[in-house]
Structure 1
């Protein structure tokens, strides 16, 4: 009996040792973050205090909204770069990135563009995945972005594979639109598929810098919360552009619930 129990303990220990991060992420997202109870004994007095401070809070809120609007949207009356046109594709003229000066003679202005890229994600032979990204740019003012990541991990103890599907849908806005540099934010939602099937609000930042001909660097960060737990991502890539195509190598870090994932990436993309 004791021998059987010892064997069972060893089996469970090894299974836990080789347990998958993917399964742990899904399990934690399904369980959610527990929240403690809050006392409501002081509820009425807090309400009265909040009512007295309403005027001051309103003033601060208006100031905050004013500052926020100009820091996130910009002033179209005085910032000429906000009118820079969307380029056909990076380096189409040998120098412009995602945007070109709006009065460039070579520019066509207000071009619609569709960017699509795909990246292989590699951690080790037991943890890998794929990241498909698409951007629809109807003009230079904003664009719609969709990301689909599929993570695959093999359990060394059971030889079984686990999958985790992460979908992100965002409205994106470039606050800065220079020829060599653009910087902006995203706002949208993250959805986890498989047996989780939960959605959460997301927001992020992204930037592109075009340093030398045919070479650019891209960075993107996105934060979201699902069932009280973080689903965050960070991307850093170098790209080599060749006409309407590009090839890339980079790094991605994901935090899905408590597990962390680090990947080397290799990919390609095209501009339509």
Structure 2
């Protein structure tokens, strides 16, 4: 009897230790942050703690001044750099090209689509589909859809989480080899959570070596008082109007953290 009880307790303990991270994220997002203080001062303090130093930097970046977020079109010539057909179309330009370059073409719009397989371990994996519509060089709209899956090692059943991000993006710096900008929008968690929150972030692309680029993006949001944050870092090999990528993604959805190696590809229309 004692042996049977010990086995049951061990199984329950292991099941708790290896419980579904995805189920925990969804449960916490639905119930919210019960430890939040009702006072506005405590709320501001909690917000700073949740987002950390990087979050405070982004808040400062977004709200310091019109100049830092939009730029001075009277004196910053790079703000008029044209959108390229696709990175390295001319062997050297990234997302933007100089207006005085020898290769000339009319005004362009561009549609970028990329997809990445996310792998953490044999029990947690997912997919990340991203699309960017660029009507011109001044701003673009971006949509991200992540579908995370987790296998329960005891029941062999899968839990899933659907994460959507919709943003307007602006490149504050538009050089041939480097661009840096910010995003503003919303994050939505589907499934049985069905809640939305405001989001903001930073992104950059570096076109350091011919046909190779590096991309990073950070995004912060809160849903029901809890963080839903993402960080991406990728290297891309470009071939004509498509690319292959290898990278890393980190997600924080409520209290659980997720770390993924990513493999993917994309195309520019």
Q: What's the TM-score bracket when you normalise by the shorter of the two chains?
A: 0.7 to 0.9
Residues 233-256 of structure 1: CA distance to partner in whole angstroms, max 9, x if unpaired? 000000000000100000000000
- Map 1:38-77 to 2 at 5 A: 38=39, 67-77=64-74
- The question of 1:120 aligning with 2:117 is answered yes
Partner Cα distance (2:128, 2:4) in 1: 45
Instruction: Provide closer, same or farther for how the CA distance between residues 210 and 140 of structure 1 changes in structure 2, counting only shifts above 3 A.
Output: same
Number of equivalenced pairs: 248
Greater C-alpha Rg: 1
Contact 1:123 1:262 in 2 (8 A): yes
Match of 1:60 in 2: none
Quickly say closer, same or farther: Cα 1:260–1:71, change in 2 above 3 A.
same
In 2: Cα distance, 1:88 partner to 1:215 partner: 16
Q: Deviations over 1:163-201 (max 9, x none)?
A: 000000000000000000000000000000011000000
Q: Is the 8 A contact 1:29 1:196 kept in 2?
A: yes
1:95-136 per-residue CA deviation (whole Å, 9 max, x = no partner) reads 000000012231324310000000000011111000000000
Deviations 1:197-235 (A, max 9, x none): 000000000000001110000000000000000000000
How far, CA to CA, are the matches of 2:268 and 2:193 in structure 1? 34
> Superposed, which structure 2 residues align to 1:21-36 within 5 Å?
21-34=21-34, 35-36=36-37
Following TM superposition, by how much is the alpha carbon of 1:9 offset from its aligned partner in structure 2, in angstroms? Answer: 2.9
Moved more, 102-111 or 193-202: 102-111
The whole-number CA distance in structure 2 between the counterparts of 1:231 and 1:67 is 24
- Report the CA distance between 1:3 and its aligned residue: 6.8
CA apart distance, 1:67: 4.9
C-alpha displacement of 1:264: 0.4
2-side partners of 1:171 and 1:188: how far apart?
A: 6
Unaligned stretches of 5+ in structure 1? 40-63
229, 235, 239: which one aligns with 2:236: 239
Cα drift, residue 38 of structure 1: 4.1
Of residues 152, 155, 159, the one that matches 2:152 is 155
Aligned to 2:105: 108
Q: Distance in 2 between matches of 1:70 and 1:119?
A: 35
**Equivalent pair of 2:163/2:188 in contact (CA under 8 Å):** yes
**1:5 shift after superposition:** 5.5
Number of the residue aligned with 1:223: 220
Task: Write the mapping of 1:249-260 to structure 2, written as runs, cut at 5 A.
Answer: 249-260=246-257
